[in-house]
Amino acid sequence: MIRADIDITLTLAGPFITQSSAPGHWGLDATLARNANNTPYISAAHITGKLRQAWEELAVALVKQGSTLDQVPNAEEIRNLLGVEADDVRRTARPKQILFSDFALSGNNKTEGIRYRIRIDPERGAVKDHAQLMLESPFASGEAICFTGQASFLVESEQKAERIQEQVRTGLQWVTQLGAFRSQGFGRLEDAEVIDLKITHPENNVADAAQVESLDLVIKPEAPFCVDAATSSGNLFKSSEIIPGGVILGCLAGMLKMADGDYQTLSNNLKHLRIRHAFPSAECMTRPVAMPLSLAQSGKKYWDLALERRPRLIDDQAPVFKPDWKNDGPKAQFGWPDLERELRVRTAIDSEHLRARDEQLFSYDMVRPDGACWLSRINLVEVPERERDETAQQLRALLSLGLMGFGKAKTIARAEPLAGGSIRPNRPINNTKARQGEADLVCLTLQTDALLLDPGDLDETSGQKKLLEAYQNTWGRLTDALELQHFYAQQFLAGGEFLARRYWRWGSPDQGDEYYPWILTRAGSVFVFSINDQDGATTALKDWLQNGLPLAGNITDAYGIRDESADQWQDCPYVPHNGYGEIAVNLDIHEAWRPKGDEKIQVIEEIGQ
């Protein structure tokens, strides 16, 4: 399997506009879509849609003539090359093989120019009241406008890559118009140059991977992305700034599916890989640490109260914890960068009427990489030892092609595997020695969300005591060397129709069977333990640091998850192999940011007193 990249230049005749989702200057009804460099661009999704339309028109014409051409893909090839959208809630979608970049303006970037339009009243034949439009239009009528971009894809051979190149050229040359206001003569496509096919072979001459137990991974997205998206409304998907390990695993699985027999050892052992979430970092060799929920604000200072056994006032004020902060808190001190976001609004197109399809408008609140890196680690400990070296070598070779198409926007990213331990955490996270206080204590902080609660232990009336007992039940099943004393934690529900149909093993939502969403404990939650057995505690903590928290028996029973860890991904997405349940032990700030006694501290004996 090789990677092919095709450089493409599209020449349009002005006027032209692709509308931006962001507001422009006062008074403008439509502005040009611009990227982070303020350069006008045509989105990759728009190019993909136009190419699909062109190929389908050509394919239908050939079918009517009873002929075929190598330069025009048939219906099945179109589905393979450009994907198939989900046709129902079971999400039987097919990912696309060809991934386009955004096409950015090449040449003089004009920033001034307004074009006026009016609407005619059909009854009077005169200008309709209050129907004047002001459009940003820096390009003169007939002016040549060039946009450049790339098409990238994985393919079996150079011959197949050349065939796809010709098919892309034929399809784009059939396109007549790009952008908005098609019927008014905007965006006429004059020429499409598909040139410079670049072939990238996997890097097989890698360093000796003998005895490799882990690889660190640096990910550099080449465009805005949308992953692990939460929906605040029915059609707005807000991307997480963190790339989950399951997304990386899914992207690797999709690439291996295209490999058609290559990388067989890696394919056989993919289920044994544990991939941590990729955290964003402005310093590409330092990975951020999740801010503990034991942090509290008092005045302008932040304190860590993890080691405090009772509720306290600080300087006669109730400490304010993270859920009530009015800002992001001291996140920079934990290595988290400030990332820019970009809103892109899209709509499905009715291919028959060539207009927006009804009730198919949706938007992505995407993360812009802007030079940041995302840092992860791939754990190979569960791979059989006799196959571990070959698995690591094949993994390096596959990653040398990049991550091809992750997230909702199918973004491409450069991926650089490094020796395990090359990337350091922003703060020490693996101090397994007990904290000295009133008794030996261990503070465990979740770095990623984790399944720690059995829904059968809780209901809508459960209070603090019941929640503590539920957590103690789970931790007690994981080890008897530690005993939970208190915690600072948040919980949230994850689920919905897709996850119910994809993972729920007991019955069917269509038949009215019971369905339980997963109760996840949020990253940053802090659990404070006393030690019953020092050696047992050290062993358990080291195992959890390396492999993540395993799913306790009460959790697997409650959600119908199989016991074999390598197969749990088939029943639940929130498993250690997908990066969930990563921990840090005894962060230094639990001591360094603890109130020292210089502050006026008052112990509250009872909540509400």
CATH number at residue 242: 3.30.70
With respect to residue 594, please indicate whether it lies within any of the assigned structural domains: no
> Which of 355, 386, 420 represents a domain boundary (last residue)?
420
Q: Are residues 14 and 97 in the same domain?
A: yes
Q: Are residues 219 and 86 in the same domain?
A: no
Classify 341 as helix, strand or coil.
Answer: strand
Distance CA 61, CA 219 (A): 43
| 88, 110 Cβ separation under 8 angstroms | no
With respect to residue 321, please indicate whether it lies within any of the assigned structural domains: no
Distance CA 506, CA 94 (A): 27
| Structure tokens given for 53 | 């339309």
Domain count of the fold of the chain: 3
With respect to residue 333, please indicate whether it lies within any of the assigned structural domains: no
Distance CA 314, CA 296 (A): 10
With respect to residue 609, please indicate whether it lies within any of the assigned structural domains: no
Q: Are residues 73 and 44 in the same domain?
A: yes
- Average pLDDT of the chain to the nearest whole number: 87
| 6, 168 Cβ separation under 8 angstroms | yes
Distance CA 198, CA 389 (A): 30
State which amino acid sits at residue 166: E
With respect to residue 410, please indicate whether it lies within any of the assigned structural domains: yes
Q: Are residues 220 and 189 in the same domain?
A: no
Give pLDDT, residue 607. Answer: 40
Q: Are residues 484 and 411 in the same domain?
A: no
| 242, 376 Cβ separation under 8 angstroms | no
> Which of 386, 401, 420 represents a domain boundary (last residue)?
420
| Structure tokens given for 325 | 């902060």
Give pLDDT, residue 604. Answer: 47
Q: Are residues 241 and 356 in the same domain?
A: yes
With respect to residue 161, please indicate whether it lies within any of the assigned structural domains: yes
| 604, 311 Cβ separation under 8 angstroms | yes
> Which of 200, 224, 257 represents a domain boundary (last residue)?
200
Task: For residue 549, give every residue at least 6 positions away whose Cβ sits within 8 Å of its Cβ, in sequence order, or none.
Answer: 450, 452, 478, 576, 581, 582, 583
Q: Are residues 117 and 48 in the same domain?
A: yes
Distance CA 227, CA 233 (A): 16
| Structure tokens given for 318 | 């109730």
Q: Are residues 92 and 231 in the same domain?
A: no
Q: Are residues 106 and 11 in the same domain?
A: yes
Q: Which regions of 51-206 does DSSP assign to beta strands (E)? A: 99-100, 103-106, 114-117, 133-136, 144-155, 188-200
**Locus of tokens 């940011």:** 593
DSSP category for residue 430: B
Q: Which domain holds residue 454?
A: 429-586
Phi, psi of 159 (to 5 degrees): -65, -40
C-beta neighbour count of 465 within 10 angstroms: 8
| 164, 98 Cβ separation under 8 angstroms | yes
Q: Are residues 115 and 135 in the same domain?
A: yes
Distance CA 237, CA 347 (A): 13
Give pLDDT, residue 4. Answer: 96
Q: Are residues 458 and 566 in the same domain?
A: yes
Q: Are residues 503 and 389 in the same domain?
A: no
| Alpha carbon distance, N-terminus to C-terminus of the chain | 68
With respect to residue 511, please indicate whether it lies within any of the assigned structural domains: yes
Number of helical (H) and strand (E) elements in the chain, helices listed first: 11, 32
Give pLDDT, residue 512. Answer: 54
Handedness of CA 59, 63, 64, 67 (dihedral sign): positive
| Structure tokens given for 131 | 């129907």
State the 10-residue block means of pLDDT for the chain, 609 residues long: 95 88 73 87 93 93 86 92 70 81 87 80 84 83 93 94 96 93 88 92 66 91 90 81 96 89 91 97 92 92 90 85 89 94 82 72 89 95 93 95 93 94 87 60 96 90 91 96 95 85 63 77 96 93 95 93 91 95 95 74 45
With respect to residue 552, please indicate whether it lies within any of the assigned structural domains: yes
